[in-house]
């Protein structure tokens, strides 16, 4: 590995594997601190590729492209978990990589991830591995009703089917392609939360306040940090998130999603080895965003404050908003959104809107929890979104 003295000075190059919106926001944070960013992504145009200082257009496992990235950059990271872990391991032979390929590989397979979480001493929902129909036949009755999830490459509700019986699970397994799966028992869920944790090479760790999350159709719709979560629930979740980061020897920013049950028990759901959708509110409600933290860890700079300065909500903007009831193209009322006090619009520069596609997000700030709820409701009204 080439020698890299830390901290990196402004002007140094940082590498990003992946050209999506998380990479785009990383670029903005890195460039604000004076760094240059090279993005490796196979698409000719991508949200991160168009704002990066250099775009290496190649497959994620292209050794020539990986060598080019390593020769140019002093540190490399990833913006989503489905980057080949072997590519990160290859890069680590010659350049600083955080998070490490082994940490990313751990969460690329739900079966491996769940085994790791359980071995770390963090509680989980009951589950069973499903490698074939025989596993479903032998599964405990206590796992029904449940959710059958493909072990690999699932996100935003994809690769998941709710099942109420063994027969439905058989059908779902075939529907998912008869690939390795996890059958997870449905829980008496009260709500879902997530904790974004930062850990550096000096083993310093910090967590942002937990956010309460609401999903629609398997995609995160709204994340709220308003100080109203149960203190003991937050303490448990934060402790678990820090424990998992230590067990992984993680360097960078990661998110742990949790189920909070009706009896106030906290169960880990999954780990995202990167900045997370639920952490986007940190861009406007914190002095140091989750993306700047990612830059700081890569560059060997001190972890910044994770204090949230005011109540905040993050509202996802999906491509559905670009279509009316007759599926005709229409532009959302951005002027109406920005007329609501405390709103900040973040669009990702994607050329084409598609239903279910993440096109941007809106951060909404308030002086207190009541004002925040009022402003969220007004933004949802302007956009024609359902308000819970």
Same domain, 256 and 172: no
Same domain, 194 and 147: no
pLDDT of residue 5: 82
Same domain, 194 and 343: yes
Size of the chain in residues: 388
Q: Is residue 109 part of a domain?
A: no
* Rounded average pLDDT over 330-347: 98
Q: Is residue 104 part of a domain?
A: no
Share of the chain above pLDDT 70, in %: 98
Higher pLDDT, 22 or 152: 22
* Rounded average pLDDT over 119-128: 97
Q: 247: exposed, middle or buried (C-beta count within 10 Å: 0-12, 13-18, 19+)?
A: middle
* Rounded average pLDDT over 191-197: 98
Domain end (from 80, 97, 114): 97
CATH assignment of the domain containing 203: 3.30.470.20
Q: Is residue 345 part of a domain?
A: yes
Domain end (from 97, 114, 138): 97
Same domain, 203 and 176: no
Same domain, 178 and 285: no
Query: How do residues 221-274 score in pLDDT, each as one tens digit?
Result: 999 999 999 999 999 999 999 999 999 999 999 999 999 999 999 999 999 999
Domain end (from 149, 164, 185): 185
Neighbours of 265 (CB within 10 A): 15
Q: Is residue 120 part of a domain?
A: no
CATH assignment of the domain containing 139: 3.30.1490.20
> Is 158's pLDDT higher than 80?
no
**Residue 258 pairs with which residues in a beta bridge?**
193, 268
Alpha-carbon Rg for the chain, nearest whole angstrom, is 21
Same domain, 210 and 340: yes
Same domain, 169 and 198: no
Q: Is residue 105 part of a domain?
A: no
Is there a contact between 26 and 48 (Cβ–Cβ < 8 Å)? yes
Q: Is residue 53 part of a domain?
A: yes
Is there a contact between 224 and 163 (Cβ–Cβ < 8 Å)? no
Kindly state the tokens that stand for 318: 């999906």
> Is 358's pLDDT higher than 70?
yes
CATH assignment of the domain containing 84: 3.40.50.20
Report the alpha-carbon distance of residue 134 to residue 120 in Å, rounded. Answer: 29
The total number of structural domains that make up the chain: 3
Report the alpha-carbon distance of residue 51 to residue 65 in Å, rounded. Answer: 19
Element (H, E) at 282: helix 282-285
Report the alpha-carbon distance of residue 9 to residue 5 in Å, rounded. Answer: 9
Q: Is residue 222 part of a domain?
A: yes
Is there a contact between 193 and 222 (Cβ–Cβ < 8 Å)? no
**Residue 220 pairs with which residues in a beta bridge?**
215
Q: What is the mean pLDDT of the chain?
A: 96
Alpha helix ranges (H) inside 206-281:
231-247
Same domain, 252 and 332: yes
Same domain, 315 and 227: yes
Q: Is residue 244 part of a domain?
A: yes
Same domain, 40 and 148: no
Q: State whether residue 250 is helix, strand or coil.
A: coil
pTM for this predicted structure: 0.96
Same domain, 317 and 179: no
Same domain, 168 and 263: no
**pLDDT band at 113; cut points 50, 70, 90:** very high
Domain holding 266, by residue range, is 189-383
């Amino acid at each position: 590995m080439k020698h890299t003295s830390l901290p990196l000075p402004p002007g140094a190059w940082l590498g990003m594997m992946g050209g999506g919106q998380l990479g785009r926001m990383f670029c903005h944070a890195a460039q604000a601190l004076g760094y240059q960013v090279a993005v490796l992504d196979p698409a000719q145009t991508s949200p991160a590729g168009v704002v990066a200082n250099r775009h290496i257009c190649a497959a994620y496992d292209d050794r020539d492209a990986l060598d080019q990235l390593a020769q140019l950059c002093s540190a490399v990271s990833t913006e989503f978990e489905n980057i080949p872990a072997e590519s990160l391991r290859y890069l680590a032979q010659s350049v600083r990589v955080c998070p490490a390929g082994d940490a990313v590989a751990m969460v690329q397979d739900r079966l491996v991830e769940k085994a790791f979480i359980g071995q770390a001493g963090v509680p989980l929902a009951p589950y069973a591995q499903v490698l074939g129909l025989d596993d479903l036949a032998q599964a405990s009755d206590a796992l029904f009703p449940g959710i059958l999830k493909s072990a690999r490459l699932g996100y935003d509700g994809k690769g998941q089917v709710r099942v109420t019986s063994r027969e439905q699970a058989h059908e779902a397994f075939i529907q998912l392609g008869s690939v390795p799966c996890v059958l997870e028992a449905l829980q008496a869920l009260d709500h879902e939360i997530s904790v974004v944790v930062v850990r550096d090479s000096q083993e310093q760790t910090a967590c942002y306040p937990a956010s309460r999350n609401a999903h629609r159709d398997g995609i995160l719709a709204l994340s709220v940090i308003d100080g109203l979560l149960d203190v003991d629930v937050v303490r448990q979740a934060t402790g678990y998130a820090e424990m998992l980061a230590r067990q992984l020897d993680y360097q960078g920013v990661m998110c742990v999603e949790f189920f909070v049950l009706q009896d106030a028990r906290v169960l880990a759901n999954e780990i995202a080895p990167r900045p997370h959708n639920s952490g986007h509110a940190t861009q406007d409600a914190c002095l140091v965003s989750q993306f700047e933290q990612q830059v700081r860890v890569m560059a060997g700079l001190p972890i910044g404050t994770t204090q949230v300065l005011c109540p905040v909500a993050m509202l996802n903007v999906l491509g559905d908003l670009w279509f009316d009831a007759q599926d005709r193209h229409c532009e959302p009322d951005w002027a109406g959104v920005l007329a609501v006090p405390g709103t900040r619009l973040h669009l990702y520069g994607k050329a084409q809107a598609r239903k279910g596609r993440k096109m941007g997000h809106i951060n909404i700030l308030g002086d207190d929890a009541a004002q925040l709820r009022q402003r969220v409701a007004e933004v949802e009204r302007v956009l024609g979104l359902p308000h819970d």
